[in-house]
């Protein structure tokens, strides 16, 4: 697992180079997919790099990737498969605020067992795997710096800091937070919210809105490796590989809460 995680880290950084080439070139063409979400040249270029590299390092493991799925190309998934979001936070990319990420996760059974989140514009990468803990490192010009171990905050009796979506702060989320004594409300984009909780910068990330599995799997893996947990709103651990759902499309998530210390949710 450790060797595979190192390979995924390298793949994410290489995909980030493609994203930054488009980002630094300035305005890019944006299209709208069938679900209403935007997609850019950077999404396509990053996904192509990731798919080619994963086919080399793990040829027998299926890959469910966002843009491939949007085109209707979804492989049969057995006990293990990769979930890939080549550019999570496309709106942040278009708005040029830097808060977008490359997400690559390995699913085993129905749980994320390894994941990498890379924020190329911010120059930071996070990685984690079951049984191996979580870590983060700076990245400059494609070179990964020294790794630092990360863990979630311990429980305390004071106010909790909450991280939330910049683009998706719903009335339901505001109502949910009324049950807590909230200190700071931190707003960031993409899967960076999971990483904020994983490295102890926040205590809770509620998402009472729709997401897809490729949006959450990598951040979920890092958070679990750091000692946290992601649960569906019914209190059960988030599951992956959801197909033939009666109330939504394949790989769609329901509402969830990501937390650091046990007992917060």
Torsion angle defined by CA atoms of residues 14, 56, 249 and 221, in that order, rounded to the nearest 10 degrees:
-60
Rounded Cα distance, 99 and 130, in Å = 26
With H, G, I as helix, E, B as strand and everything else as coil, classify residue 158: coil
Residue 89 marked as a ligand binder: yes
**H or E stretch covering 176:** helix 171-177
Main-chain phi, psi angles of 258, to 5 degrees: -100, 130
Spell 104-141 as b/e; 16+ CB within 10 A means b: bbbbbeebbbbbbbbbbbeebbbbbbbeeebbbbebee
Residue 215 marked as a ligand binder: yes
Rounded Cα distance, 11 and 53, in Å = 7
Residue 90 marked as a ligand binder: yes
Residues making up the annotated binding site for Mg(2+) are 66, 85, 87-88, 215
Give binding residues as ranges: 66, 85, 87-90, 215
Known binding residues for substrate: 66, 87-90, 215
């Amino acid at each position: 697992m450790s060797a595979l995680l190192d390979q995924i880290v390298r793949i994410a950084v290489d995909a980030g180079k493609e994203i930054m080439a488009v980002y630094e070139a300035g305005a890019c063409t944006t299209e709208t997919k069938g679900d209403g979400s935007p997609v850019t040249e950077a999404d396509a270029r990053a996904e192509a790099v990731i798919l080619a590299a994963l086919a080399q390092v793990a040829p027998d493991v299926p890959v469910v990737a966002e843009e491939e799925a949007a085109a209707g190309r979804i492989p049969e998934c057995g006990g293990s498969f990769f979930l890939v979001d080549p550019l999570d936070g496309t709106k942040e990319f278009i708005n040029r605020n830097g808060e977008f990420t490359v997400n690559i996760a390995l699913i085993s059974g129905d749980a994320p067992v390894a994941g990498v989140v890379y924020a190329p514009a911010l120059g930071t990468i996070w990685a984690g795997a079951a049984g191996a803990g979580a870590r983060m490192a700076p990245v400059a010009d494609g070179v990964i710096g020294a790794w630092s171990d990360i863990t979630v905050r311990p429980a305390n009796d004071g106010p909790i800091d909450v991280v939330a979506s910049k683009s998706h702060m719903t009335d339901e989320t505001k109502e949910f937070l009324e049950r807590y004594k909230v200190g700071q409300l931190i707003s960031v984009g993409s899967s960076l919210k999971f990483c904020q909780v994983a490295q102890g910068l926040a205590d809770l990330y509620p998402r009472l809105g729709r997401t897809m599995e490729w949006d959450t799997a990598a951040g979920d893996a890092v958070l679990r490796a750091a000692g946290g947990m992601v649960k569906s709103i019914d209190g059960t651990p988030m599951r992956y590989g959801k197909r033939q759902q009666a109330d939504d499309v394949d790989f769609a998530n329901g509402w969830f809460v990501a937390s650091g210390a046990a007992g917060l949710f």
